[in-house]
Structure 1
């Protein structure tokens, strides 16, 4: 290591956009912490900052603007009390396919049974029927394709996500064979079909509304662009940020979450 470099303990916690002093050894790796229901109090955020969190992620796939603003206000208090700087990341929803469970009741799915995925959002979610927020699934998949549903990416070793195999296309509905028993529960279920193109914009109308209001108000450091498929998605996001004035310097982090993104990496 260069003996002339002045290493300081807190340099790794510098804001992601604040230039390092010439005497600093730049810390390239950042620790990003998602602030959610169990990690939004001043006390817990302060402990995260002391432990090394350098970027706070606000996930707008759930929760409203007021909820996340309260969390951010707590972050500001924690930053002042700990004297640890922290970047602010707005994570977009993007073209995320979601199962809509209006009543938020746990849904039990049994192995070797069948379940229908439907774009009819007027129907209630049950063990036999799952409404989804996408009308084009029936034309995008074919018999034998695999679909994963859960709060997180399926691992095969837990029971909160389910693996489905497409067996039939019926109009706009997709009939699937359930490959493992699971119970879907919690705030959000996402649907992953990695091999197909989802004909939805990378920045949804909801994303643009959140960025234009919450993002501008809080001068966010980073926009985390969900389901980035190619460079054009990034260019589109940059153009949108530039129009907002105050966010022209906001960094864009492209999230590679599907085959299209990998192929264009």
Structure 2
């Protein structure tokens, strides 16, 4: 039993933890939320059943209730299974120069003679000279020949190859779509249990996200459909980056499969580019994969992992994500807490993000103008906080695009909007039912913030609101206030 430090760490960058056997209990999750800094919980739909996901969601909601803080649920769809089939004995030793035969028509357990494929279209997608990368790129094979359902390929290095490992083609070009029948079923499950975000795997273009949006439009509990996250892990997605970002609510820099397709060396620069473009186009970004990998078995991260998380924060990412570290690792609480501490330390060195969305915005939208004005005025008057009354969270999100260190408090009467805002960097969402009369509502907001110790008498703050209360998209007013 590890002694947990339950003191609160304040950080603007949001933290996502993947739920699994190591973390799926109410007490641990409560501590991860209340003290560890956990904001979003990821349900990995590559594993589990509809019943297990429903039970997991209930566990998360109960933990959040006990912690007194709403967290978002993100359902991560599996996408197409681009994998090899089963191998007798669980795997085989592959030596440099070995010829392997992959057979899309083979149904039995594989071996040295041939190995089956879950992805039956692979023979149509490759030709002699292509490089196949298995097991996250740890085994490379060059295609020698393709005949019917068979692919013959020569191993370029030695590796023990286990059953069910993934296949990528260097340079991309696999024709598998983003949605499978399983994904359609899982999407309905995610909507049924009230997931706040839906992550779509192996996105190739904006059309994939438009399909997801159409499917999700009728879902979402509390009247708010789930936000859509495009996972950028294919080379085709990099080529179509801007249109995919614009068709999504946010993107995930999914560095595992992406690195296999484009090469490890290309990923850091792509990460910076993707995070920057998401912010410029007024979308959020998540950075994922192996951020704290050593903490699966160790109680502290490596220096390289600390730098990795800090650099993602300095790049301007909205959220950083743990996968196996919290799903099956020995130290899920410590992982989240360490991540929170790294985020907080990096943010201290960052007055605001380099450049602003205004440099790229020609929409002339009222909410964009109000957001930019709030940031500018808050800096000029040395405001303690920026406060926004919001129905959907849109105004708070637009303010968050500037990456300022001034805290943004978003007050909403809707729990679904409160959970949605858990993703936005720098936004601290609060639930508050206010009067329909604006002046009375402003008094209620100030009283609540003073009661919570967020504001003290005499401190200045900026507040945004709408002349039409309780109407989404009506924010049109910005005021400088002084707490009484």
Give the TM-score taking structure 2 as reference length: 0.44
The superposition leaves residues 43-69 of structure 1 with CA deviations (integer Å, 9 ceiling, x where unpaired) of 443444332221111111222222333
Q: Structure 1 stretch 85-94 or stretch 246-255: which is displaced more?
A: 246-255
Q: Say if 2:140 is the partner of 1:163.
A: yes
Distance 1:174 1:44, change over 3 A: farther
Instruction: Please state whether the residue corresponding to 1:189 is helix, strand or coil.
Output: coil
SS in 2 for 1:111: coil
Higher RCO (Cα < 8 Å, 6 or more apart): 1
Cα pair 2:129 2:144 within 8 Å, conserved: yes
Offset at residue 10 of structure 1 (A): 7.6
Deviation string for 1:209-248 (max 9, x for gaps)?
1111x21221111110101111111111101111446575
Q: Secondary structure at the match of 2:56?
A: helix
1:30, 1:245 → 2: CA distance?
22
Q: Secondary structure at the match of 1:234?
A: helix
> Which is greater in Rg?
2
Structure 1 residues 11, 216: closer, same or farther in 2, change over 3 A? farther
Q: Is 1:131 aligned to 2:116, yes or no?
A: yes
- Deviation for aligned residue 1:82: 2.7
1:74 corresponds to which of 59, 62, 71: 59
Pairwise mapping of residues 217-256 of structure 1 onto structure 2 (< 5 A)? 217-244=192-219, 246=221, 249-256=225-232
2:96 maps to 1:119: no
Looking at structure 1, the residues matched to 103 and 20 of structure 2 have their Cα atoms a distance apart, in angstroms, of 30
Partner of 2:93: 108
Which residues of 2 match residues 142-181 of structure 1 at below 5 A? 142-150=127-135, 153-154=136-137, 161-181=138-158
1:58 pairs with one of 43, 48, 62: 43
| Per-residue deviation, 1:128 | 4.5
68 and 125 in structure 1: CA distance in 2 versus 1, 3 angstrom threshold: farther
Q: Could you tell me how far 1:76 is from its partner in structure 2?
A: 2.5
Kindly tell me: are residues 109 and 215 of structure 1, through their superposed partners in 2, closer, same or farther at Cα, counting changes over 3 Å?
Answer: same
SS in 1 for 2:217: helix
- Matching residue of 1:200: 176
Q: 1:163 to 1:39 in 2, by over 3 A?
A: farther
Distance 1:147 1:249, change over 3 A: same
* Counterpart-to-counterpart distance in 2, 1:110 and 1:210: 39
1:234–1:79 Cα change, 3 Å:
same
Question: Partners of 1:185 and 1:41 in 2: how far apart?
Answer: 31
Instruction: State the alpha-carbon separation in 1 of the partners of residues 30 and 122 from structure 2.
Output: 43
Q: Deviation digits for residues 42-99 of structure 1, max 9, x if unmatched?
A: 3443444332221111111222222333333332232233334321111112234122
For 1:91-150, what per-residue CA distance to the aligned partner results, in whole angstroms no more than 9, with x for missing partners? 112234122328782443222212122212512132453321222211211112111122
1:118–1:174 Cα contact (<8 Å) kept: yes
TM-score w.r.t. the length of structure 1 is: 0.77
Bigger shift: residues 105-114 or 222-231: 105-114
SS in 1 for 2:83: strand
Cα pair distance change 1:85/1:103, threshold 3 Å:
farther
CA contact (8 A) 1:96 1:191 kept: no
| Gaps in structure 1 of 5+ consecutive residues | 1-8, 13-26, 155-160
Q: Distance in 1 between matches of 2:92 and 2:161?
A: 5
In the TM superposition, structure 1's runs of 4+ consecutive aligned residues that sit over 6 Å from their partners are none
* Count of matched residue positions in the alignment of Structure 1 and Structure 2: 232
The answer for the alignment partner of 1:22 in structure 2 is none
Q: Deviation at 1:32? A: 1.6
Q: Which has the higher helix share?
A: 2
Match of 2:22 in 1: 38
Distance of 1:133 and 1:216 partners within structure 2: 27
The within-5 A match list for 1:89-104 is: 89-101=74-86
